[in-house]
Amino acid sequence: MTDRATILFKPLIPLAVASLLLLTTLGCLEVKTPTAAGEDFAFTTTSGETKHLSDYRGGPVLIDFMGVACPPCQQEMFVLYQLHRNYTTLTIVSIDVWTTRGETAASIQQLKDAFHAYNMTLDWTFGLDDAQGSLGTRYAGEG
């Protein structure tokens, strides 16, 4: 991270973690429990590849149901960035569930580019819900 990015973002990391915990605790991010632990589902990566949750078996996986235009989700990227850097055995998969609101792979790329401008590379797997918003309906709450 450059000195400029460190100065700008380092003080925000504790705030981002606290905000995420607070929003989850207060119910802003409603959590829907799947019917079975580790229930398999499919999604499309931003490069067009179909992946399944079962593809990531064998290690810890953090599934992030997000939306590019969701302010809490944008703040969460700072936390996920730090987790990704500090816990190399953790697999992170961020799935944009706002496809029903018009978000696309290009939207995700714009988000990644904005972070990259501050030398923060979001290089974990990003994917998209289907056009009907199946994953968002089943697993994600309103952000």
Q: Counting every residue, how long is the chain?
A: 143
d(Cα 45, Cα 127) in Å, to the nearest integer? 4
For 42, the 3-state DSSP assignment is strand
User: Quick check: 80 and 74 in contact, CB under 8 A?
Assistant: no
For 132, the 3-state DSSP assignment is coil
- Work out the angle at residue 64's Cα, subtended by the Cα atoms of residues 71 and 74, and round it to the nearest 5 degrees: 20
pTM: 0.72
State the average pLDDT over residues 107-129.
Answer: 94
Q: What is the pLDDT of residue 58?
A: 86
Q: What is the pLDDT of residue 19?
A: 52
E strand or H helix at 94: strand 91-96
What token pair was written down for 80? Answer: 């996920």
pLDDT at residue 47 is higher than 70: yes
Q: What is the pLDDT of residue 12?
A: 57
Bridge partners, 96 (sequence order): 66, 128
Digit-coded pLDDT (tens) for 104-116 = 999 999 999 999 9
Digit-coded pLDDT (tens) for 5-34 = 555 556 656 555 555 544 444 444 455 554
CA–CA distance from 77 to each of 4, 32, 36, 137 (Å)?
18, 21, 27, 22
What percentage of the chain has pLDDT greater than the value 90? 58
Instruction: Give residue 138's pLDDT band: very low, low, confident or very high (50, 70, 90).
Output: confident
